[in-house]
Amino acid sequence: MRFIAQHIYSLIKGSGNSNRALVRLISSSAINYNMESSEALVEGNEIIAQSLKAQGVKYVFGIVGIPVVELSLALQAAGLHYIGMRNEQAACYAAQAIGYLTKNPAACLVVPGPGLLHAFGGMANAQINCWPMIVLGGSCPGDHEGIGGFQECRQVELSQPYCKYSARPPSASLIPFHVEKAVRLCKYGRPGVSYLDFPANILSQQIPENRVVSVPQCPEPPVSWPDPASIQEAVKVLKQASNPLVIIGKGAAYSHAEKEVRALISSFNLPFLATPMGKGVVSDNDPNCVASARTLALQKADTILLLGARLNWILHFGKPPRFDANVKVIQVDISPEELHNSVTAEVGIQGDVKVSVDLLVKSLESSNWKFDKSSSWWNQLKAKCASNKSTIEKMAEDKTVPLNYYTVFKHIQEIIPEDSIIVSEGANTMDIGRTMLANTLPRHRLDAGTFGTMGVGLGFAIASALWCKEYAPQKKVICVEGDAAFGFSGMEVETMFRYNLPVVIIIVNNNGIYSGFDSDVWSDIQGDREDLALKNPPHALTASAHYERLVDVFGGKGFYCVTIPELQAALKEALTITNGPSIINVMINPSAGRKPQTFGWLTESKL
């Protein structure tokens, strides 16, 4: 082979421009040689692919174009699973969801300039949610910088606010070093995003194989053990509590701490709440779950054990009036910088949630302590849970057309498998769905998260379906979308068809953002077509839009539902479809909302 390659090379080397295509073909072949020195050559694209594989990266999501087309092919040739998406943000959302579900980063591949800029929303979401991910960005050739190169952009600098690590390997030979560092930094400590920038000339650069830096696979992140003195202090504070409460965050889910947290809750009779993606670490159906009495639990708790959750807007900053002014907080977090943030914790425990809770359980067991299940605190919580559940049940029994959110979710919950992965986004759709759609297993709910990002749904669902295909083929992915949220990434339905991902998409359609109008009012508004930009309310979307017909384009099955029997029949049929996604478009009252709230949804920080 080497002799033949050398002979062809000698024939075409001096033959002028007529054989450029043949030169290019030979230079891009899997077996390549430096004809002057007979050394095997390797291209930057292949070095990237092999480096990612060596570091354990399995999935790449992206959109190809100049100069990363060859890189995408090299990734597949190396055995990485490449998922071609329709929008860079959705590709970013899918990659980070894989990171959350597996604790191992996936990569997102983007083209220069606009491609990377489109991905920034996803990068920021992953960084703020603390999920590991790598972004690979092509960029213009180095010799085109500063003179108006195609899609020229200061990508390394621009990505830095949304990353833990952002770098451009200076040569193809150093690519493995930077790939290893990118993987290591996005996984170690508080997880986040790494960005690697690859100019076109680095991607196509060919170097002798023996010049490529050899880098071993980075070890799994070290487990952060808490200070034993902090554990003992936490036990002391917890045992003195009259009104204890445990709050379980998605940090506990990411830590895979479900066994330890469940032991803590059940062994010591502790009431608990979960943040949206902390749901399922302990089952929502557990008798110690007091989610139905959330306002009372937060207001009246005198001691809160915070497990992998931040006192940000989701938890009202830990401040009055949503919390007692004198509440004692025991804070467990892997990031020391998070301790005492917003409020000064009584005890700050820096450590892995799984290990920290295990040590708490063992220490409490040795002291032979349990919280009294017949206490006044438990009686208050039980009474409030019963009262609020009764209110919700009455709303959920109302089958009047047009439907309300609670009725729709009640009948979805009755049909979907208990172990379904639920992806959700939208305003009321997501918020009410959190209370009505139960999670019994950890990491089985993915939603807009800490950043409140709309558009995550279909990307998250794609990642979840790929995870299921590999680890739990019988598990169902249910993607519950508001109609406005669905519009952000609706074309990813085509991606689901292309990769045969049987996601059940349920659109809870109220004809708008927060609310809309019924068909009659909408027709009146649309009457004056000369002035629609002034007359169409900013929050209103097209009334009674048939989003379910989108799957018709790809040969799928969609369902338009107005009544509960129609919804039940559609959902039962959709759960049997295995050759791609389905869409159930459920029309509800455009004015439907949530039950009356004691407080507004967002508490001022009072700083």
* Of 2, 151, 167, nearest in space to 68 by CA: 151
Would you give the distance in Å from CA 534 to the centre of its chain? 37
Find tokens 């438990």 and name the residue: 378
More confident residue, 182 or 527: 182
Tell me if 497 sits within 8 A of 554, measured CB to CB: yes
Q: What is the pLDDT of residues 59-89, one digit of tens each?
A: 999 999 999 999 999 999 999 999 999 999 9
Report H helices in 160-309: 175-187, 200-204, 228-239, 250-254, 258-267, 294-300
Band the pLDDT of 521: cuts 50, 70, 90.
Answer: confident
- The DSSP secondary structure of 523-545, one letter per residue, reads HHHTT-TTSHHHHS-TTB--TT-
What local confidence, expressed as pLDDT, does residue 31 receive? 40
Q: How far apart are CA 302 and CA 291, in angstroms?
A: 17
Secondary structure (H, E, C), 482-535: EHHHHHHHCCHHHHHHHCCCCCEEEEEECCECCCCCCHHHHHHHCCCCCCHHHH
Compute the residue count for the chain: 607
For residue 38, pLDDT beyond 70? no
More confident residue, 32 or 456: 456
Task: Locate 24 and state its tokens.
Answer: 């290019």
Strand extents, DSSP E, 370-483: 421-425, 445-446, 477-482
* Of 391, 390, 393, 480, nearest in space to 437 by CA: 480
Report CA-CA distances (Å) from 208 to 9, 38, 211, 217.
Answer: 17, 10, 6, 22
Look at phi and psi of residue 97 and say left if phi exceeds 0, alpha if psi is from -120 to 50, else beta.
alpha
Report CA-CA distances (Å) from 346 to 80, 183, 264, 341, 343.
Answer: 47, 35, 20, 12, 9
Q: Mean pLDDT across the stretch 286-303?
A: 98
What local confidence, expressed as pLDDT, does residue 25 receive? 39
Across all residues in the chain, what is the average pLDDT? 92
Element (H, E) at 208: strand 206-208
* Of 150, 122, 144, nearest in space to 62 by CA: 122
**Order of strands across the sheet that contains 39-43:** 32-34, 39-43, 206-208
Tell me if 13 sits within 8 A of 36, measured CB to CB: no
Q: Are strands 39-43 and 32-34 parallel, antiparallel or unpaired?
A: antiparallel
Find tokens 């507004």 and name the residue: 600
Q: What is the pLDDT of residues 229-268, one digit of tens each?
A: 999 999 999 999 999 999 999 999 999 999 999 999 999 9
Tell me if 328 sits within 8 A of 423, measured CB to CB: no
Tell me if 63 sits within 8 A of 104, measured CB to CB: no
Band the pLDDT of 18: cuts 50, 70, 90.
Answer: very low
Q: How far apart are CA 419 and CA 436, in angstroms?
A: 15
3-state secondary structure (DSSP) of residue 262: helix
What local confidence, expressed as pLDDT, does residue 10 receive? 40
Q: How far apart are CA 171 and CA 547, in angstroms?
A: 48
* Of 505, 489, 484, nearest in space to 590 by CA: 484
Other C-beta atoms within 10 Å of 50: how many?
21
Find tokens 């959330």 and name the residue: 294
Tell me if 41 sits within 8 A of 207, measured CB to CB: yes
pTM metric for this prediction: 0.92
List beta partners, residue 304. Answer: 245, 329
Q: Mean pLDDT across the stretch 462-484?
A: 97
Band the pLDDT of 14: cuts 50, 70, 90.
Answer: very low
Band the pLDDT of 604: cuts 50, 70, 90.
Answer: low
Q: What is the pLDDT of residues 409-447, one digit of tens each?
A: 999 999 999 999 999 999 999 999 999 999 999 999 999
List beta partners, residue 481. Answer: 425, 507
Q: What is the pLDDT of residues 505-515, one digit of tens each?
A: 999 999 999 99
